[in-house]
Amino acid sequence: MSEPAAVSRAAAVAPAPPAILVVFGAAGDLARRLLVPALCNLARAGLLSERFAVIGVARQDLDEEGFRRSLARSARESAKDTAAQDACAPDVWPWLSRRLYYVRGDFNAPDTYERIARRLREVAAQHRTGGNVLFYLATPPGLFAAVARRLGAAGLVRQENGWWRRLIIEKPFGTDLASAQALNRDLLAVLGEDQIFRIDHYLGKETVQNIMVLRFANGLFEPLWNRDHVDHVQITVAETVEVGRRGRFYDATGALRDMVPNHLFQLLSLAAMEPPSCFNAAAVRAEKAKVLDAVHRLTPTDVRRDVVRGQYGAGIVEGKAVKAYRDAPDVAPSSRTETYVAMKLMIDNWRWAGVPFYLRTGKALARRRTEVVIQFKQAPLSLFRDTPVERLTANDLVLHIQPDEGASLRFNAKIPGPSVRADGVEMTFNYRDYFRSAPNTGYETLIYDCMIGDAVLFNRAEDIEAGWRVVQPVLDAWAEDPDAALPIYPAGSTGPPEAEALLGRDGRRWRAL
């Protein structure tokens, strides 16, 4: 087929408007491994305009043909990954390849932006894209503000004649509250809030978006989604991967900064938010922000009691020997950076008063799993005095986000036979069993939404700062007690025993990984 976009016009949604996507860091891992396959998937689905083009910006000494060959090679390698399988197959790649252009330059050099402006005019004329431009900063976080300032100084983010200019940045959005506030000030000095799209790729997952549909489109669940019926909530983002080659970044960051203010708090907000008045960006983001504003602020005493950190030691993960974190490249031999964190949070509002939210995340764990567990209160046991409490399965709703997207509900049923004996059963819904889903890297929805200007899945400046306000007391308490115990857990385990004790003292336990 000559034009994949033309073949798939039966897509349920309209293609994005004509635009040029300018990717800073286009020769890096993010662009090659995720963005390019996502663009291929969007092209196959008919969601990219015929008048679409990409300009890559990087320091590598490449011409445009070399840039295209490099991305083609990366696309073939990405096809080995099930998330991007067949994304850039022969029916799609030629279409996208003809729309790829390249500008070589230093991100801090003013003449780089002059070349970008010139190339934008040339590509816009060639592909009739008009003046819509989406700038994607696939760069180290330390360059976000600098690139934004350079774009502003070059007049490249000025919106004129009905055309839009937008900027995408990736997490982390700062390393603490003060740096997040400074980044927001720098960005908002150049662009309007409506021009800034802060990407958290977890929100591209179908099940994450489905949390709102599950809650607010089903009379079965929403009446039970409160302190009267829910015993507690668990949110888990467990990874089997070790630090690998990211030691320099990770040793300065740690699990708390890397995962909690963004990924885990996104899941927390969606699970705990009130129903928005309508499904638009302003209404949804307002309700999510209220959740973080209502999280009880931790005191130093709370941090010592309700926050657990750990670091992985040597062990076996999925049959493979893993070195201790401190033996990873670019990690300090005496590093005290946490690779695991678990915490108990309380939300001080009418719906959730008294209901604990337990969050955990870590690297080099026994299994890769991201899920939200809504555990309901135990039924009265007077009818089942001869059945030990531990034999009655907890009623819980589990929202599986990765690796298998779906949901499951556990409840008790009678075991066949003459006596009344109960045991737990499970009903499971898997996306792949019910819906025909296209290959997805998690970025397709996010990129498409940026191009159509739908900000529902993106954070505002105040949302970012609200998350850091919850985390900052933990960072401060750790800084004030640098010699506090840092448990070492074996790679391939479920984390430090102290995390089990966090729930155990409340008479609860984590859902098994």
92 domain residue, yes or no: yes
Between CA 55 and CA 66 the distance in angstroms is: 14
Grouping H, G, I as helix, E, B as strand and the rest as coil, residue 133 is strand
Q: Which residues pair with 199 in a beta bridge?
A: 170
390 domain residue, yes or no: no
Between CA 244 and CA 132 the distance in angstroms is: 38
State the residue for tokens 């994949």. 4
Same domain, 219 and 291: yes
Boundary of a domain, candidates 200, 215, 232: 200
Confidence (pLDDT) at 5: 40
Confidence (pLDDT) at 429: 87
Confidence (pLDDT) at 218: 87
260 domain residue, yes or no: yes
Confidence (pLDDT) at 114: 96
pLDDT tens for the chain, residues 1 to 513? 344 443 333 346 789 999 999 999 998 888 888 888 889 889 988 999 999 999 999 998 888 888 888 888 776 665 555 444 455 666 788 899 999 999 999 999 999 999 999 999 999 999 999 999 999 999 988 899 999 999 999 999 999 999 999 999 988 899 999 999 999 999 999 999 999 999 877 676 665 677 888 888 888 888 999 999 999 999 999 999 999 888 888 999 999 999 999 889 999 999 999 999 888 888 888 999 999 999 999 999 999 999 999 999 999 999 999 999 999 999 999 999 999 999 999 999 999 999 999 999 999 999 999 999 999 998 776 555 555 555 667 789 999 888 888 889 888 777 777 766 666 777 888 877 877 666 677 788 889 999 999 888 888 899 999 999 999 999 999 999 888 889 999 999 999 999 999 999 999 999 999
Its sign, for the CA torsion 195, 147, 205, 82, is: positive
Query: Is 127 considered catalytic here?
Result: no
State the residue for tokens 């190339």. 119
Boundary of a domain, candidates 174, 200, 226: 200
284 domain residue, yes or no: yes
Same domain, 139 and 218: no
State the DSSP H helix or E strand holding residue 250, giving kind and residue range, or none if neither. helix 247-251
Same domain, 159 and 244: no
Q: Count of CB atoms within 10 A of residue 73's CB?
A: 11
Distance between alpha carbon 82 and the CA centroid of its chain, in Å? 18
Confidence (pLDDT) at 456: 84
Same domain, 182 and 215: no
Confidence (pLDDT) at 30: 81
Same domain, 321 and 172: no
Confidence (pLDDT) at 10: 38
| Closest listed residue to residue 236, CA positions, set 72, 410, 125, 360 | 360
| Closest listed residue to residue 137, CA positions, set 164, 121, 157 | 157
| Closest listed residue to residue 449, CA positions, set 30, 42, 139 | 42
State the DSSP H helix or E strand holding residue 470, giving kind and residue range, or none if neither. helix 461-480
**Residue 154 dihedral angles phi and psi, to the nearest 5°:** -85, 0
| Closest listed residue to residue 499, CA positions, set 347, 394, 342, 390 | 342
Between CA 131 and CA 89 the distance in angstroms is: 30
Between CA 442 and CA 431 the distance in angstroms is: 15
Same domain, 238 and 113: no
Structural domain harbouring 492: 203-380+456-504
Same domain, 173 and 98: yes
Boundary of a domain, candidates 200, 227, 251: 200
CB-side exposure of 382: number of CA atoms within 13 Å?
Answer: 1
444 domain residue, yes or no: no
Could you say which DSSP state residue 224 is in? G
212 domain residue, yes or no: yes
63 domain residue, yes or no: yes
Query: Cβ-count burial of 264 within 10 angstroms (0-12 exposed, 13-18 middle, 19+ buried)?
Result: buried
Which of 127, 201, 232, 263 is labelled catalytic?
263
Same domain, 244 and 357: yes
**Do residues 5 and 46 touch, judged by C-beta distance below 8 A?**
yes
* pTM assigned to the model: 0.89
Grouping H, G, I as helix, E, B as strand and the rest as coil, residue 333 is coil
CATH number at residue 253: 3.30.360.10
70 domain residue, yes or no: yes
| Closest listed residue to residue 50, CA positions, set 99, 87, 100 | 99
Q: Count of CB atoms within 10 A of residue 79's CB?
A: 17
**Which residue type does 112 have?**
T
Strands 340-346 and 307-313: antiparallel
